[in-house]
Amino acid sequence: MAKPPIAGNRTGRKLGQKVKKGKLKASSRRWLERHINDPYVQRAKLEGYRARAAFKLLEIDEKHQVLKGAKRIIDLGAAPGSWSQIAAKVTDSSDDDIRVAAIDFLEMAQIPGVKILQLDFLDPDAPRQLIEAVGGTPNLVLSDMAAPTTGHQKTDHIRTMHLCEVAAHFAVEVLAEGGHFLAKTFQGGTEKDLLNMLKQNFRQVLHIKPASSRQESVEMFLLAKGFKGRNGPGVVELDEEGFVRDPREDVPATEDLDQD
Hey, which residues are catalytic here? 184
- Among 167, 259, 164, 166, residue whose Cα is nearest residue 220: 164
CA angle 173, 179, 182 (to 5 degrees): 85
Q: Does 129 bind ligand SAM (CB under 6 A)?
A: no
Q: How far is the CB of 225 from ligand SAM (least distance, A)?
A: 19
Q: Which of 2, 44, 79, 161 binds ligand SAM (CB under 6 A)?
A: 79
Q: How far is the CB of 4 from ligand SAM (least distance, A)?
A: 18
Q: Does 250 bind ligand SAM (CB under 6 A)?
A: no
3-state secondary structure of 65: coil
Contact predicate 145/160, CB 8 Å: yes
**Residue 246 CA to chain centroid, in angstroms?**
19
Q: Does 59 bind ligand SAM (CB under 6 A)?
A: no
Contact predicate 100/83, CB 8 Å: no
202 or 221: CB nearest ligand SAM? 221
Query: Among 23-31, 92-100, 103-111, 167-175, which window interacts with ligand SAM (CB under 6 A)?
Result: 103-111
* Dist CA 74 CA 139 (whole Å): 9
Q: How far is the CB of 53 from ligand SAM (least distance, A)?
A: 4
DSSP 15-57: SS--PPSSSS-HHHHHHHHHHHT-HHHHHHHHHT-SSTTHHHH
Q: Which of 145, 158, 172, 175 binds ligand SAM (CB under 6 A)?
A: 145
Considering only residues 162 through 191, tell me which ones interact with ligand SAM, judged by CB under 6 A.
Answer: 163
Q: Which of 82, 91, 190, 201 binds ligand SAM (CB under 6 A)?
A: 82
Q: Does 146 bind ligand SAM (CB under 6 A)?
A: yes
Q: How far is the CB of 2 from ligand SAM (least distance, A)?
A: 13
Tell me the pairing of strands 140-143 and 219-227: unpaired
**Residue 77 CA to chain centroid, in angstroms?**
6
Letter string b/e over residues 2-26, b meaning 16 or more CB atoms within 10 A of that residue's CB: beebeeeeebeeeeeeebeeeeeee
Q: How far is the CB of 22 from ligand SAM (least distance, A)?
A: 28
Strands (E), the chain: 73-76, 100-104, 114-118, 140-143, 180-186, 202-208, 219-227
Q: Which of 58, 90, 103, 198 binds ligand SAM (CB under 6 A)?
A: 103
Give the x/- contact pattern for ligand SAM in 15-54, rule: CB under 6 A: -----------------------------------xx-xx
Binding interface with ligand SAM (CB under 6 A): 50-51, 53-54, 77-83, 103-106, 120-122, 144-147, 163
